[in-house]
């Protein structure tokens, strides 16, 4: 054969065709060893045969999609051996093979014999077939990497579809299920045209990544607020989280954490997209097998779903991911329509037109103290692990108050939040509106809606003050609540240490109120909103009661803090967290009860309540949002006004005591203490 004669094109069949006719071999370069036709130099024919059998597909093909970037598709045998096993020295008619860099380069030379006689050309055509030549040098390792990557991609996609959005629901059983969404995704990728397959897979993978991020946010919110992340209203809370990081770690720490979160977010999206693209290409290379598998799994899902097949109490066929997305869409729709609903509620106020001289007439001349105990929820009273100690504290408090001539009545209020969000609960209680999210909070605090405290101010019969030790920077919303003066953490005279989040211990806060306002001579009656923050998460370390005369400027608390517990160690155990929570609530209650016993008089009226339940770590699965509320007074006429409320005598409300929404308290209170009906 003349060197000008083009070589014959290889048939796209096995070395031994199905009709038994041996395939013709193109002229090849001199063999370096005894490898068979089409086998790469240095690769055992047995390895080549095994690799080809593993990657088998049906039907001859003239082109192939590259398994990896840099791989060179070439004319394939019917066995469709791996790209690693394609013969670099096989002569090909120009244009007959796919655009393999090495093959195309050889064909472009116009002479197969010239290529064969030039070893440098042969080396360049086979030196870098993919992964910078590593796949050629280590075909077994390369195949293991490819298989492992495909398996990891499948596991990642299934995990995203099956993982719950709550940490307390994650179990092995959660992942032993068949999600209909996986079958649907496989079907979509099989019917999408090949040109659009990679783009479609990438978009679907990125969407799965976004839903993964959302599930992670849900996990965090369920752990702290016992609810999922609100896609409409909760974005502003991320700013609060950044402020918390700044206070805890400094500006540099905040920046590093934010950068880390952004990098992690991008990584999740990219990895999810790549995983879906990987699976799409795998199904395209093995299309007949993928089609049959999808049909089989689809049929199995329908059968299991119809018959309700379960394993160990877990339903096998699930559509949980679809239901999750449906719920999220409904939450968004509800959130977008919430503003209009709230605006209508905002305009309704039964006391808006009441003359000031007819407001709160039943409390004229009294010092009225609305005191919130952070995280003081129903769990503290009802939970068997905490109830005995809390019950003892309340009984001792009742005895102390009775010895000072006071009486108390208690009931339950249902808070709009749990775990955190104290400001939402406080605003609900004072405004008479159900303030369940940040958007409602902003709306009401920028409106002219009157609050319980501003009605006291409107009468002109009280000096209204706020004792808010948890506030450490400007608080413009304070003006909305109708407070003549606000004492934040920097204006209470405290020179002691922070107790974790708590800037000022409760006992010192109450003593400061006594010195700054309540203990002054020749003063007007005081209405005070007081926030006791020592029972605020994380409840470690905790201050303890000392002699009131020893409080001084608070420096004494340095030693007390050093003797306290380390929050890092406490939060390693849910049991220890619950114990420290119980101790913190006891400290807050003891501080307040002793203050009333020490400084209270005939004109003292105390309204004591919790703002919300603690985090789920403490509530241990309880879904209740109830908090105790108590009215304490020495004047019997004050409690007579609420005799028809059905509340329980004493500081501890009975289990069957009336339960109201926290937003109902304002109007009930103002009605009870308004002009008496004749």
Distance CA 619, CA 610 (A): 15
Instruction: Please provide the average confidence, as pLDDT, over all residues in the chain.
Output: 82
* Average pLDDT of the residues in 32-53: 40
pLDDT at 129: 55
Six-digit token pair at 277? 């693209």
Q: Which residue has the higher pLDDT, 14 or 589?
A: 589
pTM of this structure: 0.73
Q: Is the pLDDT of residue 8 over 70?
A: no
Where helices occur in 495-640 by DSSP H, the ranges are 506-513, 557-562, 567-570, 574-599, 616-619, 636-640
Q: Which residue has the higher pLDDT, 245 or 225?
A: 225
pLDDT at 225: 81
* Average pLDDT of the residues in 526-544: 94
Query: Across the chain, which distance is largest between two alpha carbons, in Å?
Result: 125
* Average pLDDT of the residues in 186-213: 93
pLDDT digits (tens, 9 = 90+) for 479-499: 899 999 999 999 999 999 999
pLDDT at 5: 42
pLDDT digits (tens, 9 = 90+) for 69-83: 344 333 334 334 434
Q: Which residue has the higher pLDDT, 290 or 123?
A: 290
Q: Which residue has the higher pLDDT, 370 or 340?
A: 370
Please provide the DSSP assignment of 106-143 as one string.
HHHTS-HHHHHH-HHHHHHHHS-SSGGGHHHH-HHHHH
Six-digit token pair at 606? 């105390």
Distance CA 453, CA 426 (A): 11
Q: Which residue has the tokens 């008496």?
A: 676
């Amino acid at each position: 054969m003349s060197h000008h004669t083009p070589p014959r094109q290889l048939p796209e069949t096995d070395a031994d065709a199905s009709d038994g006719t041996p395939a013709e071999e193109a002229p090849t370069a001199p063999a370096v060893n005894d490898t068979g036709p089409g086998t790469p130099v240095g690769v055992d024919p047995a390895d080549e045969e095994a690799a080809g059998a593993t990657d088998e597909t049906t039907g001859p093909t003239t082109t192939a999609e590259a398994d990896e970037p840099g791989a060179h598709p070439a004319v394939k045998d019917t066995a469709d051996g791996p790209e690693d096993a394609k013969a670099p020295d096989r002569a090909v008619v120009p244009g007959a093979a796919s655009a393999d860099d090495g093959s195309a380069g050889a064909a472009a030379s116009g002479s197969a014999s010239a290529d064969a006689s030039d070893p440098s050309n042969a080396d360049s055509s086979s030196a870098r077939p993919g992964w910078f030549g590593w796949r050629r040098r280590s075909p077994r390792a390369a195949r293991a990497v490819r298989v492992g990557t495909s398996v990891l991609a499948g596991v990642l996609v299934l995990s995203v579809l099956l993982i719950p959005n709550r940490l307390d629901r994650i179990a092995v059983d959660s992942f032993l299920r068949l999600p209909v969404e996986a079958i649907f995704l496989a079907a979509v990728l099989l019917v999408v045209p090949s040109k659009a397959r990679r783009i479609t897979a990438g978009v679907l993978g990125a969407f799965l990544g976004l839903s993964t991020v959302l599930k992670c946010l849900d996990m965090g919110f369920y752990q702290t607020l016992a609810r999922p992340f609100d896609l409409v209203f909760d974005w502003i809370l991320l700013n609060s989280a950044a402020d918390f990081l700044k206070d805890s770690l400094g500006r540099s720490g905040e920046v590093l954490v934010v950068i880390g979160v952004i990098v992690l977010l991008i990584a999740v999206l990219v990895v999810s997209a790549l995983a879906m693209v990987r699976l799409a290409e795998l199904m395209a290379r093995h299309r007949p097998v993928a089609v049959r598998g999808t049909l089989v799994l689809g049929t199995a899902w329908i059968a299991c779903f119809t018959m309700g097949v379960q394993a160990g109490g877990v339903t096998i066929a699930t559509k949980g991911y679809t239901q999750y997305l449906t719920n999220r869409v409904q939450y968004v729709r509800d959130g977008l329509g919430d503003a209009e609903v709230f605006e209508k509620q905002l305009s309704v106020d039964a006391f808006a037109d009441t003359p000031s001289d007819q407001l709160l007439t039943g409390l004229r001349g009294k010092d009225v103290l609305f005191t919130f105990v952070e995280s003081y929820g129903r769990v503290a009273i009802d939970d068997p692990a905490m109830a005995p100690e809390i019950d003892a504290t309340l009984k001792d408090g009742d005895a102390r108050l009775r010895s000072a001539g006071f009486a108390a009545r208690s009931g339950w209020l249902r808070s709009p939040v749990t775990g955190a969000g104290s400001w939402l609960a406080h605003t609900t209680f004072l405004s008479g509106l159900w303030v369940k999210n940040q958007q409602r909070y902003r709306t009401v605090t920028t409106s002219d809606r009157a609050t319980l405290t501003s009605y006291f101010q409107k009468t002109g019969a009280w000096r209204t003050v706020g004792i808010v030790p948890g506030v450490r920077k400007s608080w413009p919303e304070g003006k909305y609540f109708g407070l003549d003066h606000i004492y934040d953490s920097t204006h209470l005279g405290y020179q002691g240490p922070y107790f974790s989040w708590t800037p000022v211990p409760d006992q010192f806060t109450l003593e400061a109120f006594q010195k700054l306002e309540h203990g002054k001579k020749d003063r007007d009656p005081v209405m005070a909103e007081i926030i006791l923050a020592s029972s605020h998460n994380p409840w470690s370390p905790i201050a303890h009661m000392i002699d009131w005369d020893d409080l001084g400027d608070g420096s004494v608390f340095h030693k007390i803090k050093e003797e306290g517990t380390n929050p890092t160690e406490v939060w390693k155990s849910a049991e220890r967290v619950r114990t420290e929570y119980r101790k913190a609530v006891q400290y807050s209650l003891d501080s307040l009860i002793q203050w009333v016993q020490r400084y209270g008089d005939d004109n003292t009226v105390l309204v004591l309540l919790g703002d919300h339940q603690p985090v789920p770590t403490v509530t241990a699965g309880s879904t209740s949002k109830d908090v105790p509320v108590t009215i304490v007074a020495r004047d019997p006429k004050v409690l007579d006004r609420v005799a028809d409320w059905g509340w329980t005598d004493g500081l501890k409300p009975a289990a069957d005591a009336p339960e109201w929404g926290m937003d109902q308290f304002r109007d009930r209170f103002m009605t009870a203490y308004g002009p008496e009906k004749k």
